[in-house]
Amino acid sequence: MQIQTTSFLEKENNHHKIDLNHIISLNQTYAKERFDIMNNSLKILDYVYKKYSSIKIASSFSLEDVVVIDLACQVWKKPTVFFLDTGRIHEETYYTLEQIRKRYNINLEIYYPDSNDVEKLLREKGPFSFYESIENRKECCYIRKVKPLLRALKEVDGWITGLRRGQAITRSNVFPFEIDIEHGNILKINPIFNWGLENIWTYIKIYRIPYNPLHDKGFPSIGCVPCTRAVQPGEDIRAGRWWWESPEHKECGLHKK
């Protein structure tokens, strides 16, 4: 396992020291495939919520994210969930957000992009600049997602995601515990890192968890309206995201390695 080592080997956090050797030990414990995946995920979340006082769940209300919320609510009385509203979200995503909000006892935070940034981008480059180059697309993602994420993660011990190894080539090396250098060396927790898509669907159906209806219309991965399309049979599950780009570029900047 490769983990980047820098001067953050031991950094004073709000309440705890994040020790790299401890993170390695946690991954050696929780990344073993022999564990029952659901119970293993619950153990990861239980450990995190008991040890750290300020934890947030990042949610786009995808299949993975609603599973993570359901799991978290089993080990913590009122998890904090944040949503990055880019201003170009599908109506079905808002519908799913509302269904989840009504069902679970969560503290929901919603973050929007800075209006001045959006106005400047549209004024100078128009509403579809992201189709023109990777640089333009990443600029749009930075304004609408990455900068709001900075506000969402201010003064937290760590954040929980729905990342899975099987989602994309860019996520094949995801571990349950990571150190997020981009946001002040906080913890990044990926409790369903080793779930397969079939495991996700089985869990959702057994526990009747609300999910985005676009998933029933050929959208395995859902982002902003102009950057998401349905996929064809046999295509990769991320093929509908930024379909005009090659697979190795298909990240918005939220999840850097």
Q: Is 252 a catalytic residue?
A: yes
State how far the Cα of 214 lies from the Cα of 232, in Å rounded to an integer. 14
| Long-range Cβ contact pairs of 2-5 (< 8 A, separation 24 or more) | 2/173, 3/178, 3/179, 4/181
Residue closest to 110 by CA, chosen among 149, 65, 138, 163: 149
Catalytic position from the list 140, 141, 227, 252: 252
10-12 and 17-19 beta bridge pairing: antiparallel
Q: What is the DSSP letter of 231?
A: P
Long-range contact set of residues 47-54: C-beta below 8 Å, sequence gap at least 24? 48/158, 48/160, 48/187, 48/189, 49/75, 49/76, 49/79, 51/16, 52/15, 52/16, 52/157, 52/158, 52/187, 53/14, 53/15, 53/157, 54/14, 54/15, 54/155, 54/156, 54/157, 54/158
Total residue count of the chain as it appears in this document:
257
Distance (Å, rounded) from C-alpha 180 to C-alpha 98?
29
- Look up residue 61 and give its two tokens: 């209300």
Enumerate the active-site residues.
252
